Structure 1
Amino acid sequence: MTATERSHSTVTVGVSLKMYFGHAQSLDWSSRVAELARTHPSVASGAVELFVIPDFLAVAPAVGIFAGTGVLVGAQDLATDDSGAFTGEVSGAVLAEVGASVVEVGHAERRRLFGETDAIVAAKSAAALRNGLAPVLCIGEGERMPPADASAECIRQLDSALAGAAFGRVIVAYEPVWAIGAPAPAPADHIRAVCAALRSHVDGLTGRDGSVVIYGGSAGPGLLTELGGDADGLFLGRFAHDPAALGAVLDEAAVLASSRTDNR
C-alpha cells in the first residue's frame, strides 16, 4: 500500500484550541485527551490520526503529555524565518526542536485580523516544510458560491501556498470562510464536491505523499458520516473542548476508517 493509499484509509481528526483556554486549562484538557487517545482502539492502532493544536505556551508541555499516544502536537502559527530579529515570533525550527509535528498556516482569522496575504501564507508553508513540519494549510472561499467555483478558488489558494515549498506532507484544511463560527457547517453536498476536487488535485502533486484533505468550519458529530469518503477527516474547534464530545467524533472516525479500508 502506498503512502497515498494509507492516507486515504486513515481518517484524520484535528483540534485547534485557538485562545479560548488558560494555561492550566489547556494542560488539563491535554491530559484528558491523552487518556482518551490511549484507550481508543482506532487511535492506538493508527486507523484514526489525531492532532491537537494548543496555544504556543502549551505546545512544549503538551508534547510531553501526549508522548506515547500517537497524537501529533502542533502550533497555531509560525514565523516566515527560522531565526533573527523578529520580536514576538516563533520559528518552525524552534517548534520542531520542542517536538511539534504540525503547524497551522493561513487560517482565515490570520488573514482577516493580521493581514496575512497569499505571499505570507506561502512563506510560512515553506518555513514549515523545510523544518519537517506538516502545514495544516487552511484554505477556503470568502463568500458562498457554487462548488465548482469554490473548488477552483481553493485549488488556486493551495497552489499559491505551496509554490516553491519543499516536498513533504500537507494537511489541507478546507474551511469556507462563511461557515467558520456559523451555527451549522456548509451543506454536505458542497463540502463533498470541494473536498473531492481538492483531494484529486493533491493526489496529482509531486512530493506530497501522505497528504490529506479535511473539513473545518462548524464541524461536529454526524458530519463525517454525511461526507463519506470524500473528506479524509475533520478539523474541530469549540465542539472538541469537551473531551467526551471529541471521543464521539473519534468513534465516528473509526467506523469510517474501517469502511474505507474494506473498500480498498
Structure 2
Amino acid sequence: MAPTPPQREKRLVGTSLKMYFDLPSTLRYIDAIAQLSPAAANANIDLFVIPDFVTLLASKDKLHNTSIQLGAQDTYSEDKGAFTGEVSPLTLAQAGVTIVEIGHAERRRLFGETDHDVAKKAAAVVRNGMVPLVCIGEKSRSSIASQAVGIAVSECKPQITAALSQIPDDSEVILAYEPVWAIGAAEPAGADHVVAVTQNLRALVAGRKGRTRILYGGSAGPGTFEKLKEGVDGLFLGRFAHDVGNLEKVIEEMGVS
C-alpha cells in the first residue's frame, strides 16, 4: 500500500485596509466581504479582514454569522496603563479580534519599530489569546538571484527569531513575508525568489510545536498564489483586495490549486 501523502496546511488569505477607507466605505466593504464566507468555507480556506480600529466593533457585528476572522492592524505591548493613544491587546481580544498584524514595514519605517518592539507585541497578542501575524521582509535587493535569496533569509531570520523568542513554542503564529521593495510595486516579487525564500524560512520554524503558516504579501493579487504554492500557505493582500471581486477570484484560485 502506498504511503498516505502528508496533509497540507489549511490555506489562509486576508487583507488589511490600512488607512485607505473612511468609516462608511469600510462598513460597506465589510458587508461585501461577509458575502464571501461560504466561498471560503467551501474552498477550505481561512479568510480574515483587518479594518481600522474605529470600525472593529461594527465589523465584528457584521461578520457575526460568518467564518471570517477579524484582525487588528497593530497593538501595544501592555494590557493596561498610562499609554495615551495606544490600543490594548486585552481590549482587542474583548472586541472579537482573533488576529493581530504586527511589525509591518510601514510601522518599522515610519514609527521606528524594532524587532524587540515587535517581539513584545507578539507576546502580548498570544497572552491575550490571539494569533500574531508577524510581517517580515528584506530591505535589500540584489539582481543576482542566488545572492537575493541569501540576503532575504539573512534579514528575515532575526525578525522571526526575535518574535518567536517571546511566545510559547506551542502557540500559533502567522508569518507574512513581504519584501519591503515589493510593497506597493506594480508587480509582486518573482515567484522563484519567493518560493526559495519561504522554503528556507519554513525550515527555520520546522521544529516548532505550534501551528506556523507563511503568507506572501507585497503586490499580491489574482494569479499570484498558483506560482507560490510550493512555498506559502496563502496570501496577505493589499490594494488588489480593495476590489472584492479580486478577493473572490483569489479564493477561487486557492481553492483549486
What residue is the counterpart of 2:126 in the other structure?
A: 129
Structure 1 partner of 2:80: 83
Tell me the equivalent position of 2:179. Answer: 176
Partner residue, 1:13 = 13
Paired with 2:180 and 2:133, the residues of 1 have a C-alpha distance of 16
User: 1:45 Cα deviation (Å)?
Assistant: 4.0
What amino acid is the match of 1:151? V
Q: How does 1:190-209 map to 2 (within 5 A)?
A: 190-205=193-208, 207-208=209-210
Give the conservation status (yes or no) of the 8 Å contact 1:10–1:47: yes
CA contact (8 A) 2:173 2:212 kept: yes
- Secondary structure, in 3 states, of the residue corresponding to 1:154? helix
Kindly provide the amino acid, as one letter, of the partner of residue 81 in structure 1: E
Give the letter aligned to residue 179 of structure 2. P
- Counterpart-to-counterpart distance in 2, 1:238 and 1:176: 16
Query: Which residue is 1:262 aligned to?
Result: none
Structure-2 change in CA distance of 1:46 and 1:222 (3 Å): closer
The structure, 1 or 2, with the larger RCO (C-alpha pairs under 8 Å, 6+ apart) is 1
C-alpha distance after superposition, 1:46-78 (max 9, x if no partner): 611111100001111111211232111010000
Q: Distance in 2 between matches of 1:219 and 1:108?
A: 16
C-alpha change, 1:9 and 1:118, in structure 2 (3 Å) is: closer
In structure 1, distance between residues paired with 2:224 and 2:203: 21
Q: CA deviation at 1:200?
A: 2.2
- Aligned pair count? 246
Distance 2:109 2:15 in 1: 21
Which residue of structure 2 aligns with residue 143 of structure 1? 140
Q: Does residue 244 of the first structure (1) align with residue 245 of the second (2)?
A: yes
Task: Name stretches of at least 5 consecutive residues in structure 1 with no aligned partner.
Answer: 257-264
* Paired amino acid for 1:197: N
What pairs with 1:24-39 in structure 2 (closer than 5 Å)? 24-38=24-38
- TM-fit CA distance, 1:10: 1.5
Among residues 146, 164, 167, which one is paired with 1:162 in the alignment? 164
Do the aligned partners of 2:221 and 2:250 also contact (CA within 8 Å) in 1?
yes
Alignment of 1:40-79 (within 5 A): 40=39, 43-45=40-42, 47-79=44-76
Paired with 2:225 and 2:125, the residues of 1 have a C-alpha distance of 28
How far residue 11 of structure 1 moved from its aligned partner, in angstroms, is 1.3
Contact 1:147 1:190 in 2 (8 A): yes
Decide which of 85, 99, 115 is 2:96's aligned counterpart. Answer: 99
CA drift of 1:229 comes to 2.4
TM-score (ref. length: structure 2): 0.92
Query: Structure 1-normalised TM-score?
Result: 0.89
SS at match of 1:9: coil
Give unmatched runs, 5+ long, in structure 2. 1-5, 143-147
Q: Check the 8 A contact 1:9/1:47 in 2, yes or no.
A: no
**Cα RMSD between the aligned structures?**
1.4
User: Is 1:189 aligned to residue 192 of structure 2?
Assistant: yes
3-state secondary structure, aligned to 2:36: helix
- Structure 2 distance, partners of 1:168, 1:160, is 15
